[in-house]
Structure formats: structure tokens, C-alpha cells
Amino acid sequence: MTKTRSELKTEAKQLLKGRWGSAILLNLIPTLIALAIAAIMGFTIYRTLIILGVDIPSMTASSADMSDVGSGSTGGGSGFFGGLLAAIFSAGISWTYLDLLRNRKQTISPFSDAFRAFKSPFLWGIIALYILTSLFTFLWALLLIIPGVIKSFAYSQSYFIYYDVYEETGTKMGFLDTITASRRLMDGHKMELFVLYLSFIPWYILATLTFGIGYLWLNPYVSATTAAFYDNLKVNALD
């Protein structure tokens, strides 16, 4: 039986009850790491320019003039790798909530669970799935934006499925087979997931009004709810 949005959210809140502190830390770790990487890169670039004797003010002015030329190449590359890093962290966090839902584990270990998708055999699988789904979504988006969006929802369960198959069978599912399985699992359910995401908009607005502090609670809530969504799809597919 397909659960309603309200039931999925209630399930997520029940999962997080008594675990909010560790869940917040689990979702906060990737953010802190991203900030640390950005700070280190910025400081390294700044120190390199100082050592080379580059005039920082004049360089800033000239790079502002060239921003339209360079933003397409460097921005695209950084966006791709930033998205990949986010996907790896997000997958591991989502798997943690899925395991909690299924009683495979009882507690959240923020520091180990945040990096679980970086471990073998999952890392290369996530990288391959990210590249393939990004490519397929881009190609569909060349037709029109809407087909690209629809396909992104069709491929949205790929990371869950890849993890699930390995946990259940001990074998790695083919990347294209994983994407196909996600597409089939989401057949007739893409609008459900879309509306589920829309239902969080008031919470995103509220989180923004709190200068981002509210995201500490919102991100675990959304991740746990999407894990519940996948688990419900899987149960119904087996019935």
C-alpha cells in the first residue's frame, strides 16, 4: 500500500525522534568539509599570488572584466565536481536513514556514516551513476527542460537501488541496469516525489528566514523522508 506524504513525513519524524543531535551532526559534516576545502583553496591561491608578486587589486579588476569569458568553463567544472561530492555524501547519509528505517542499525554514527559512501565498493558506483545520470538528464534537457526534469526524477532512486542490491546479494549491480531499475521503480510515481519535494517549500522558506540555521533540522528531515519514500516503493514493488 502506497503511503501518503503525511505518513512518510510522520515515519521520518519517528525515525529522528531521540536522534536529532546526531542527525544534525551527520548532515552538518559535509557542509563543514566543503567550507574547509573552499577556505584552504582560497588561502592557497592567495598565498601563491603573493609569492609570485601578482598585484591582487589589479588582478581582481581584470578578472572581473573577464568573468563572462571564464565563468562558462571553470564554473561548469567546479559545479560538476561539487555536485559529485554532494552526491557521494548525500548517498551515504540517505543509506543511514534507510538502515534505521529497516532496523539494520539503531544509532547514527555521524563521523563514520557521513563517509560510508566513500568506501569500497560504493564509491566508484556512485561516481559512475552520477556521471551517467547527469549525462542522460542533460541530453534529455536538450530537447526541452521538462523532459530533463522528468528523467531526473526517474533516475532519482539509483543510489538507493545500487546500495540495496549489494547489501542483499553481495554483488554489484551494473550501472545501466541500476538506472533502468530506478526508472521502472519510479514509473507512475514521479509526480508523487515531485509533490513531496514541493511540500517542503514552506520549511525551506522558514529555514532561509532563520539565516540558514533551520537547515540543520530541515536537511535530516528531508533525507529521512526520501529514504522512507524509497522504502515504501520497494515494499510495494515486492508485493
Asked whether residue 54 carries a pLDDT value surpassing 50, the answer given is yes
Q: 154 with 190: CB under 8 angstroms? A: yes
Asked whether residue 239 carries a pLDDT value surpassing 60, the answer given is yes
pLDDT in tens, 103-149: 999 999 998 999 999 988 899 999 999 999 999 999 998 888 888 89
Q: For residue 161, give the C-alpha cell.
A: 537501488
Give helix then strand counts, H and E, for the chain. 12, 0
Predicted TM-score of the model (pTM): 0.84
Please, what is the average pLDDT of the chain?
A: 86
Work out the average pLDDT over 167-190: 94
pLDDT of residue 56: 56
Q: From CA 122, how far away is CA 145, in angstroms rounded?
A: 30
pLDDT in tens, 193-209: 999 999 999 999 999 99
The lowest-confidence range among 26-30, 109-113, 235-239 is 235-239
Q: What value, to the nearest 5°, has the Cα angle with vertex 204 and ends 2 and 1?
A: 5
Q: For residue 2, give the C-alpha cell.
A: 502506497
The one-letter amino acid code at 132 reads L
pLDDT of residue 24: 94
Q: From CA 170, how far away is CA 163, in angstroms rounded?
A: 10
Q: 229 with 8: CB under 8 angstroms? A: yes
Asked whether residue 15 carries a pLDDT value surpassing 70, the answer given is yes
The burial of 163, by beta-carbon neighbours within 10 Å (0-12 exposed, 13-18 middle, 19 or more buried), is given as: buried
* Most confident region among 27-31, 81-85, 159-163 by mean pLDDT: 159-163
Q: From CA 127, how far away is CA 164, in angstroms rounded?
A: 17
| Other beta carbons within 10 Å of 129 | 22
Band of residue 82 on the pLDDT scale cut at 50, 70, 90 = confident
Q: What residue spans define the domains of the chain? A: 23-119
**Alpha-carbon separation of residue 160 from 107, 206, 207 (angstroms):** 20, 29, 27
Band of residue 77 on the pLDDT scale cut at 50, 70, 90 = low
